Chain A
Amino acid sequence: MQDKSGIFFENICFVPIMHGRLEFAAAVIRSFCRWQPEAIAVEFPHTLKKPLIRGLERLPLLSVLVFELKDNTHVYLPLEPTDGLVEAARAALEHQLPLHLIDLDMDHFVQVREPLPDSYALSRIGLTAYCQAYAARAKQAVSEDLLREANMAYHLDRLRRQYKRVLFVCGISHYPRILSRLGNRQVQPIGRQQRAGVLLAHMHQQSSREIMTEIPYLAAAYERQRQHLYALWRRDPDAVNPLDRLQLQEKLLQEACARHWRHSRERVRPHQLRVLRQFARNYALLQGFLAPDFYQLTIAARGAVDDNFAYEVWDLGSHYPWQDDNPQLPVIELKGEDLFLNQKKIRFHRSFRVKRRRLVPVGIRNKRLREARPGEWRRKWQGLMICSYPPEDLVVEGWGHYVKKKTAHILAAENTRTQPFTTSLLDGLDLRETIRNWHEGKLYVKEERLLSGKVGSVVLIFDEDRPSPGGRENFPWRVTWLGEHEQESDMAFYATPAGEHLVGPGVSRCRYGGFMLTYPPMRVYDIWRDSFFDVATSKPERLLLAAIDYCEEKQIAYIAAKPPRSWWHSVAARYGKKIVYLPLGMFSPVFLKKIRTFHVLDGHHVRDYAYKYIS
C-alpha cells in the first residue's frame, strides 16, 4: 500500500500507532526509511531512559519495566517488539540517532480503553488514511492526557528547531491534539524529573503466552523479518509489506496441521480448513474486526476440527521462541488481570472424558505432575508390563456390541420385502408404501425374512498403513491382547508405538491404525507371529483373516474405507461364514476419533492415577 502523504508538521513526521500491533510497528519502519530522520522522539517519559534502553538491548528477549506510584500501585510496562514505540526507540539505538523520550512522568496512571478500527486496515488503506479517519472522530481527552500532550508538544517544538528531520511516534489518541498545539507557543508543564526504583525484569515464559498484545507467533515472525523490512524499504519505501496478518495466520494453521498429524495422526481435511476460515472471518467481522484475533482463530479451529487441533493452534500461536533463554535478570510472572487485560477463557478437552462417577475431594483439583525436564517421562518408560486403561476398554467393547447390533439391523433391513396385499397380511401393513401409492387404491404389506447367525468378530480399519517405499509405517506397533474377564473380547491391533507420546508418568497415548475384536475371550494366539496368517498381504487383511478364523458365529463385520478383496469373501464362505462390509463413513467421525485414541499404561499400578492424565 502506498502511503506517500504522511502526517507532518513542518519538519516533524508523525507516526501515530496502536500499541503492540504488527502493522503499526511495520509502519514505523516504513516511515523511518522514507523520512530518514536525524532524531527520533517517542512517547516514553525520560525518567525511564536507562532501564528502557537496557530492555531494548535485550530484545528479542521480552522485558518488563516495573515501578511503583505514590499510591503504592505498581505499573508494568512490557517491552514487545511489535510495539511501535519500542520499534522507534530500537531504530534510534541501532542507527546511532539521538533518542528523545518526551512524555511526562506522572504519579497518576489513567488507562483509557478506546475502541479502534482493526489495525489490519493499514495493509489496505495505509497509515495516513487510517489516522485521518481516526482524527475525524477523536474523543475528548482526560486532564492527565492533556498535561502529557502539552509536554510532548513543548519538546517537539524544541526538537524541530534543533534538527532538520524529526520522527515522532506516539499513541494514536494523542496525535490530533499534539498536532493542533504545535502552531501555538508552548509551555512546559511541571512534572517529575527523575524516578527511583525502576526495575527491569525478564518476562516469564508463561506470561509471554498470556499477556503479549500481539499473537506471539506473529510477533516472532516480525522479529525475524525486521532487518529485511529495513533493507526492503530503504530500496523502495512503497514496496508491499511482506508481513501480512492473514498470510501469517494461514502459515500458523498449516504448521498446526503438520503438528496435529505428528501428535494425533490425524489429517485436517480441506473442507475443515474452509469452514475454519469462513467461521473465523465471520466471527471477526461480527465483533468489528477485519482479521480474526487469536481467540477467534482458536475457537474457529475447535469448531471446524476439534479440541486437539485447537490446542495445537494455541500452543504454536502463543509460543514466543526466545523466552526460553537464560535471562540473567529477575523473572516476573504476570497474569492478564495484572495488566487489566480483557481476557477470554477457552477450555480444551483434549481426550476422552471419563464418565464414571468417582470420589473426588470437593473443591480441590487433581494436581497433575509436570515433567521436570522435557522427555523425562519418555526416558523412564519401560514397557515391560504394559496394560490398557479400563474405561477405554469399556468404550471399545460397547462399540463392538453396537456394531454387532447395527450389522444385524442392516441385514434385517436388506431382507425386508414390500408387496401388494393379496391373501396374507404377512408381517403387517407397510403404511408408507400404501400412502405413496394411494392413487392405486391398493394396500401394501411387508415381509421380514429371518436371518441366521450373529456377528462374532468385528474388524475396524482406520488406516491401511501400507508401508512407504522406504518401508516406513505410521502404525508399526502390532499387539494381541487377551480379554481380562468374561465380558471382554480378545483384541488384536496395530497402532503407534507405546512409549512414544507420554501424557503422564507411565501413561502413553497411542492411536489405532486398525483393530479386531472377537468374542469369547482367552482364545487368540498372537496373530502377528502366527505363521498361519502369513497369507495376508497387509495388516488389515491379517486382522480380517484372524477375525474369520476365530469367529464362532456366522458373520464378521468389516468396517473400513474400502471393502475387502472379493477373494476374502470366498475364504469366509469356505469357513461357512459371511463378511458384512460397512463403510467407515457410516459411523460418526466424532466417535471414531474418540475410540481411535487409547492409552497404554506402564504397569497395573499406573491405573491408580492414570485418570489424572486422561480426562
Chain B
Amino acid sequence: MQESVTIDEVNLMLSHPDELPMKWVGQRELLDQVLAAWLVVSEDDVPLNPRLIGKPGVGKTTLAYAAAKRLRQEVYLFQATMDTRPEDLLITPVISEENKIKYVASAIVTAMIRGGVAILDEGNRMSEKSWASLAPLLDSRRYVESIVAGIKIRAHANFRFCATMNDDASTFELPEYIDSRLQPQIFIDFPEREEEKLILAQNLPFADDMILDYVVDFLQNSHLAQERYTVRDGINIGRYALKLLSSSRKLKWPRRVPASSRQVHRCLAQAVALILGPEAQGYLPPVAESD
C-alpha cells in the first residue's frame, strides 16, 4: 500500500525508501567528510549538500548510502539520466483508472517530506533545466515548487541531500548557480593497496589471498599509469577468473583438486583481457619463476 500525504489540499503519493546490500569498507575519512557536510550545530544552521566526485566504480553511491545509513534515516536513491525532467525530480502527474490526475512524489520529494536522505545518483547527466527546479532546495530556503501540482513543499529539518558525479567530461553540464550550491566537493580517489584488498575481500569472500593479491597488484599498477580501472573492475575480474577456474578444474568428489598457481594466473589474465580488453594486460603483475 502506497503512503500518501496532503499538502495544500493536494494529495501526494509517496515513494518507497531503498534498502540495498551496500557496505562501505575502509577510507573512514571519506565517510566522516560526508557526515561533516550534513552536520548542523544549531536550529539556525543549514546542512551542506555535498557532491561526491570520482571515477566510475570507486564507490560514490556506496559511500553516500553508507553515510546516510549512519544517520539511521530512510534513504532514497534517484537515478538521474539525460532524460530526467524537472517534474520527474519533483512531482509527476499520473492519470488514474478513474480518468483523474494522481500526483506522485519523486524519491527526492518523499525524502524531503519524511526527513530522509536523498541521493541523486549521477547528477551530472541531468540537464540544466532539471537542476533549476532543485535550486531553492539546495540553499537556505530548502523548499521546492511544483508547477504541475501548484504547491510549495518545505523540507523536513532532518532532510539531507547529496549528489554523486563521475569526473568524466559529462560532469561539465552543471550551471554555476547549481555548482555553488552543491558544496563541498568530496573527491573519492583510488584506495590505497590495503584498502583495495579489503574491498575485494569483502566482495569476493570465496577468493583466496593469491587471487586477491594478484588483482590488487594489477589495479595498483593501472592506478600508477592513471588508467581508469577501478575496484569494480577488479571485483568483476576476480569473479570471472573464479568461474573460469571452477569450470576448468577437475572435480574429484568429494575433494576438489586445488588449482595450480599457473592456472590461477592464466585465468586471471584471461579475465582481464575479456573484461577490460587486451591493452589492460600490460598492467598484469609478473608471475614468479617458480610458478
Q: Which residues of A contact B (CB under 8 A)?
A: 269, 271-272, 275-276, 278-279, 281-283, 285-287, 299-300, 302-304, 306, 344-345, 347, 349, 353-355, 357, 359-360, 362-365, 398, 432, 435-436, 438, 584-591, 594, 615
Contact of A589 among B35, B95, B179, B189 (CB under 8 A): B179
A586–B186 CB distance below 8 A: no
B187–A357 CB distance below 8 A: no
Question: Chain A residues near B35 (CB, 8 Å)?
Answer: 286
Interface size counted on chain B using CB atoms at 8 A? 44
B172–A286 CB distance below 8 A: no
Q: Which of A283, A285, A302, A353 gathers most chain B CB within 10 Å? A: A283
Q: Which residues of B contact A (CB under 8 A)?
A: 29, 32-33, 35-37, 39, 41, 48, 50, 85, 87, 93, 95, 101, 128, 147-148, 169, 171-177, 179-180, 183-187, 189, 192, 221, 224-228, 279, 282-283
B224–A362 CB distance below 8 A: yes
Closest to A615 in B: B226
Question: Chain A residues near B93 (CB, 8 Å)?
Answer: 435-436, 438
Question: Chain A residues near B224 (CB, 8 Å)?
Answer: 360, 362-365
B184–A362 CB distance below 8 A: no
B283–A287 CB distance below 8 A: no
**A591 to B48 alpha-carbon distance, docked (Å):** 22
Q: Which of B101, B176, B184, B279 gathers most chain A CB within 10 Å? A: B184
Nearest chain A CB to B102's CB is how many angstroms away?
11
**A141 to B54 alpha-carbon distance, docked (Å):** 46
15 A-B pairs besides A283-B32, A587-B172 with CB distance below 8 A are A275-B184, A276-B184, A285-B39, A286-B32, A302-B185, A303-B186, A304-B184, A306-B185, A355-B228, A357-B279, A362-B224, A435-B101, A584-B176, A585-B177, A590-B172
12 A–B contacts, CB within 8 A, in A order: A272-B180, A276-B184, A279-B48, A285-B39, A302-B187, A362-B283, A398-B169, A587-B175, A588-B175, A589-B176, A589-B180, A590-B179
Given contacts A286-B39, A357-B279, contact A588 B171 (CB under 8 A): yes
**A354 to B226 alpha-carbon distance, docked (Å):** 9
User: Which label, helix, strand, loop or mixed, suits the secondary structure of the A interface?
Assistant: helix
**A355 to B37 alpha-carbon distance, docked (Å):** 30
Total inter-chain residue pairs, C-beta < 8 Å: 112
A279–B177 CB distance below 8 A: no
Contact of A362 among B33, B172, B192, B225 (CB under 8 A): B225
Contact of B175 among A306, A365, A586 (CB under 8 A): A586
The 9 closest A-B pairs by CB, nearest first: A303-B184, A591-B172, A585-B176, A283-B36, A282-B36, A360-B225, A282-B39, A588-B172, A275-B183
Closest to A357 in B: B279
Question: Chain A residues near B85 (CB, 8 Å)?
Answer: 432
**A364 to B283 alpha-carbon distance, docked (Å):** 11
Closest to B165 in A: A590
**A590 to B168 alpha-carbon distance, docked (Å):** 11
**A548 to B68 alpha-carbon distance, docked (Å):** 53
Question: Chain B residues near A345 (CB, 8 Å)?
Answer: 192
Q: Which of B33, B50, B93, B147 gathers most chain A CB within 10 Å? A: B33
Closest to A584 in B: B176
Q: Which of A299, A306, A353, A438 gathers most chain B CB within 10 Å? A: A299
Question: Chain A residues near B95 (CB, 8 Å)?
Answer: 435, 438
Question: Chain B residues near A355 (CB, 8 Å)?
Answer: 228
Question: Chain A residues near B189 (CB, 8 Å)?
Answer: 347
